[in-house]
Structure 1
Amino acid sequence: MSGTFVHAMPYGARALGDGSTRFRLWAPDLDAVTLECEDGHAAAMRALDDGWFECICPRGIGSAYRFRISDDLAVPDPASRRQQAGDVHGYSVVVDAADYAWRHADWKGRPWREVVLYELHVGTLGGFKGVEAALPHLAALGITAVELMPIAEFAGERNWGYDGVLPYAPAAAYGTPDELKSLVDTAHGLGLMVFLDVVYNHFGPEGNYLHAYASGFFDGGAATPWGSAIGVSTPQVGDYFVHNALYWIEEYQFDGLRFDAVHAIGNPGWLAALAARVHAAVGPDRHVHLVLENEANQANLLGRGRFDAQWNDDFHNALHVLLTGEHEGYYAHYQQPMDKLLRSLREGFAFQGEAFAGRRRGEPSAHLPPARFVNFIQNHDQVGNRAFGDRLTTLVAPEIVEAALVLLLLAPFVPMLFMGEEWGSTTPFQFFTDFPDEALRTAVREGRRREFAAFAHFGGDDIPDPGDERTFLASIPERDVHTGDARMALVQRLIALRAKHVAPHIDAATSRRAEALGEKALVASWSLGGGTLTLYVNFGEADVAIAQPPSPAAAWLHGDAADIASLSRGLLPARRALACLES
């Protein structure tokens, strides 16, 4: 079944099908706006109520346009669907949103319980076409959902994506809108969902002109690490982002969205309303999933009809400190890593209202099922925000990483892998940008070095230059030549076990226990589909005695015969993780 999909919205350019286009701009700070086309055509826009300007011009698909807001400044469309040559300062382009014919238009998605996420950076994998070429590998591995780091148009050719300034325009550095649609379409044909990471808490530092004509887009009374907060409580601003979410879901057929750092938005009421509007627009017949990154650990936002889950930094941070012994930066808040890891395994969040960096963080979460938490042992933040982008594979022994993967992939939370993790990649993932403005390049480089200058293990001058192309090239993931094949076979086997024995039951899973067996060893179990799933994990260098071995009738999901025999005698081997089901 083929078909086309278009999201109708009140912003930007809408081709009318008769060779003309309706243009709209919200510019409440201005008295007049002129539409300018690259071919020389210009038209005064009519002022409407509430700061809107509109005109209908005899220009159609492919026309390049911008808005003249003063004698010395013309700006791109903030709702541009495509930028000419990827220039965030230049002309926007009228596109035919219905031009792409979907091959799998009847795709309805997959239920949340089946999700195994794989986070990737589109640029490091060769753009939209490169990601599309990698999809068969991911499907064969057992991945069910691919998550793209942000793809909104940014300044330059290289960026993590969190400096986007035109949220509706896929980055031209990665390919065309149709190539992005083809990526999603091909994924659906392979049974894969595709999620998109979206950034509604700030705009990037180059190419954002909203301050010049719509100061109400920002809340000057609330600060974020990137400047003034976004004023989502203003209806035109809040709707701009609601329509953006619907645009990606409807026009590009994304199956889910990950909302970046929503604690910096500072408006949980608006977030709840956004989720409700998305669910209402999508309807009950299609699986669309919404996921938060939220340092505030607001459990009330999670649940049916709201957000499916939250990235669980608590799980990662506690586990990372336990495995590496690191304690600088935000890891300083995880000085009792085993206690916090066990609480995360039992209740979801480790911080549920306790003191954190001079404030209270979190809400009670023990009532939520494990499915409300996305767990990971690596991701773009936790790797890339390190000074040199070190992966966990370079910090601890391979056997310890494998034990962590067992805990990640077989526990009844929603697991996420980071690109290259299935190969045991040791390639760093470093922070990279490509701002054309030299002063901004310098500021980013020096700011990055100041950020890490106080750390004990290296000096600030050693930090890779984000603007150097070599920093980007060094971040392209490569297969580890020593462990790659074996690691991939392990990950594939664990995902298959998860799909058969764990995933069907995670919506109703409940914690039974999570206890320490030693300084770096634990046992955790959950009620699961009428039975009990138990994981025995020892990250330490010595075998650990256990007081209560598993039942002789236990069905073993993971562990070799020698390790299972040892555990049955009451001894959990070092650097091992075992899993069993008991009735």
Structure 2
Amino acid sequence: MPLRTLETWPHGAIKLDPQNTRFALWAPDAFYVSVELENGQSLPLLPQADGWFVINTRCPAGTRYRYNIDGELEVPDPASRAQAGDIDQHSVVVDPLAYEWRHSTWLGRPWNEAVIYELHVGALGGFLAVEEHLAHLVELGVTAIELMPIAQFPGERNWGYDGVLLYAPQASYGSPEQLKHLIDTAHGLGLAVMLDVVYNHFGPDGNYLHRYAKGFFREDRHTPWGAAIDFRRREVRDFFIDNALMWLLEYRFDGLRLDAVHAIEDPDFLQELAQRVRQQTDPSRHVWLVVENEHNQASLLEQGFDAQWNDDGHNALHVLLTGETDAYYADYAKNPTEQLARCLSQGFVFQGHLNRHGQARGEPSGHLPPSAFVLFLQNHDQIGNRAFGERLHQLAHPDALKAATALLLLSPMIPLMFMGDEFAAEQPFLFFTSHHGELARLVREGRRNEFAAFSAFADPHQRERIPDPNAPQTFEASRPTLTVNGASAMHEFYRQLLQIRHRHIVPHLPGTRARNAQVLGFGAVSASWCLGDGSQLRIDLNLSDTPVRHMPQVDASLLFEHPPGSGQRLDQGTLPPYCAIVSLTAAAPLLHLDGERQ
């Protein structure tokens, strides 16, 4: 990998050779900038055009430093590659080429093979501790892990969406070398590694850009986190796009999940990011780009991005499994079965349809392949944004949940599970931070006020029961027990389903298209897809407690049934309660011109 230069990587402390480093800071609102080394040296940066301050100096890897702005304020490097502790500690010069990769020929995995396991690095104990779970995940049938955001945030406990130093792996999780070792180990086991990145805002604590680089923000547009990031500026665009390239090129992540891109006001930034990633990564590599996007912009999935998290599918399934219709689930309260059928046959539920606020949301998506949608029954948001972080197995009928799990793991959409799903982990996943003082109070009160729209918490006194995000025990309660010694029943259920997926579905996913999805009754649908080899996959699903009449599929092979015997009852014309029946019909043989079958 070539060394970076000012022209190709302008932000941060860039190693020029083993003994020399270039420090570059974009500070258009500063008059004077110096780099303050931990050994006491103070080196003035030279002002350049367009608000840049730069110096090339003798400085080896491992040197600790800060920037001084106008002799008034010392700040970390916004492009710090590592921190010597928390955000108020020194930044550290890092040699990106120092790590010796053991699996340097790894090229990733095709997107159709993706079975994604989302995890929180801190809750599992850090980068080295995550490595201990990799072999278990491979045995289960997982092909990719997705790390919740790891960019440096304030304190030691955080979901990661409060990151302020986007180039620095969180110091409490481990060093850059330990992160690379995790990725390297995963590759050696055949696991791809994705990273969740946040490019729509900075966290509220430890971000000093407003003091010396106001151009990062535009005050005429605001997001839920404050002034929007101004992607119209080249320096700002490069800051974020180069960050994406750093994770993909230097750390060899196999893909990125871009958080809440609906809060990015400049859609051409996303297009440029995808374009530059595709241009600057080896074309022989499989690099995945996935978005979270409330706007359901199907067009974005034809502009360099592979897929979108399908919240619509989750929400319809959640209403059917739990009966909950508070807050955003109200959009799925009236016709959840019809909405699930639309999701299975067309991708998004909302494709220009009006939501509960009377606003049109989404774009037509039926022309996209099923693999353009990441489906899940729960994730960090859908568990952690509950007041007490309950998991789905604590809310749904156990057989209904198993039926929905069969749909998740055997449909042609890309499945995602959250850490602990495979063991029906009893531990919650709560919202946690480690803020202090007034910010801690605001976060605690804001968290509790978020639930005012839920009937169970309409009374302010009830909201006082919601755990304090800043309390250490809130974090400790969220650390799952992943039992790997002896498989639980749920673990074996997941393993069986994923074996079927890899054997019968994954090889034929390219070229798959949805055929139709029929509503059979409340909570009951029959969906079918034409796989890439011409065979037909069908899933008959009933999440209700009532049997429904349905026609069996002729000449189909049964891939899976839950509960046992469900397929026999379907042969008799009845789809039982709480069941999933998955069948496959072989492709019709081709005819030669002389009428002979191949």
TM-score range, shorter chain: over 0.9
Instruction: For 1:208 and 1:527, locate their aligned partners in 2 and report how far apart those are by CA, in whole Å.
Output: 50
- 1:70 Cα deviation after fit: 2.6
Quick check: 1:505 aligned with 2:508?
yes
Quick check: 1:426 aligned with 2:429?
no
Q: Secondary structure at the match of 2:123?
A: helix
| Stretch moving more, 307-316 or 560-569 | 560-569
Gap change, CA 1:5 and 1:260, over 3 Å in 2: farther
Q: Secondary structure at the match of 1:378?
A: coil
Match of 1:326 in 2: 324
- 1:561 Cα deviation after fit: 5.3
Q: With the length of structure 2 as denominator, give the TM-score of the two structures.
A: 0.94
- 1:222 Cα deviation after fit: 1.0
Q: Secondary structure at the match of 2:203?
A: coil
Alpha-carbon contact 2:3-2:16 (below 8 Å) kept: no
Gap change, CA 1:69 and 1:433, over 3 Å in 2: same
Q: Secondary structure at the match of 2:13?
A: strand
Alignment length, in residue pairs? 574
| Stretch moving more, 484-493 or 232-241 | 484-493
> Which whole-Å deviations, capped at 9, do the CAs of 1:454-497 have from their partners, x for residues lacking one?
4222421011000001111111112589x961111111111111
> Which whole-Å deviations, capped at 9, do the CAs of 1:299-335 have from their partners, x for residues lacking one?
11103x6100000000000111111111111111112
Q: Which amino acid aligns with 1:17?
A: D
- 1:57 Cα deviation after fit: 2.0
- 1:506 Cα deviation after fit: 2.1
For 1:466-545, list aligned pairs within 5 A: 466-478=469-481, 485-528=488-531, 529-545=533-549
Instruction: For 1:203 and 1:68, locate their aligned partners in 2 and report how far apart those are by CA, in whole Å.
Output: 21
- 1:20 Cα deviation after fit: 2.3
> Which whole-Å deviations, capped at 9, do the CAs of 1:104-157 have from their partners, x for residues lacking one?
000000111100000000011111011111100011111001000000001001
- 1:16 Cα deviation after fit: 2.4
Instruction: For 1:5 and 1:160, locate their aligned partners in 2 and report how far apart those are by CA, in whole Å.
Output: 33
Q: Secondary structure at the match of 2:145?
A: strand
Q: Secondary structure at the match of 2:17?
A: coil
Alpha-carbon contact 1:128-1:174 (below 8 Å) kept: yes
Percent identity reads: 52
Alpha-carbon contact 2:107-2:284 (below 8 Å) kept: yes
Instruction: For 1:241 and 1:480, locate their aligned partners in 2 and report how far apart those are by CA, in whole Å.
Output: 38
> Which whole-Å deviations, capped at 9, do the CAs of 1:68-91 have from their partners, x for residues lacking one?
103331111000000112x21231
Match of 2:170 in 1: 171
Q: Which amino acid aligns with 2:386?
A: R
- 1:431 Cα deviation after fit: 0.1
Instruction: Return structure 1 stretches of 4+ with deviation > 3 angstroms.
Output: 4-8
Match of 2:58 in 1: 58
Match of 1:237 in 2: 236
- 1:402 Cα deviation after fit: 0.7
Quick check: 1:288 aligned with 2:287?
yes
Match of 2:559 in 1: 557
Match of 2:246 in 1: 247
Match of 1:340 in 2: 339
| Stretch moving more, 521-530 or 203-212 | 521-530
Quick check: 1:268 aligned with 2:267?
yes
Q: Secondary structure at the match of 1:507?
A: coil
Match of 2:396 in 1: 396
Alpha-carbon contact 2:257-2:291 (below 8 Å) kept: yes
Alpha-carbon contact 2:119-2:148 (below 8 Å) kept: yes
| Stretch moving more, 119-128 or 455-464 | 455-464
Match of 1:312 in 2: 310
Instruction: For 2:493 and 2:2, locate their aligned partners in 1 and report how far apart those are by CA, in whole Å.
Output: 39
Q: Secondary structure at the match of 1:200?
A: coil
Gap change, CA 1:168 and 1:42, over 3 Å in 2: same
- 1:340 Cα deviation after fit: 1.1
Instruction: For 2:2 and 2:122, locate their aligned partners in 1 and report how far apart those are by CA, in whole Å.
Output: 26
Q: Which amino acid aligns with 1:43?
A: L
Q: With the length of structure 1 as denominator, give the TM-score of the two structures.
A: 0.96
- 1:18 Cα deviation after fit: 4.7
Instruction: For 1:273 and 1:17, locate their aligned partners in 2 and report how far apart those are by CA, in whole Å.
Output: 30
Q: Secondary structure at the match of 2:172?
A: coil
Match of 2:208 in 1: 209
Pairwise CA RMSD of aligned residues?
1.5
Q: Which amino acid aligns with 1:166?
A: L
- 1:367 Cα deviation after fit: 0.5
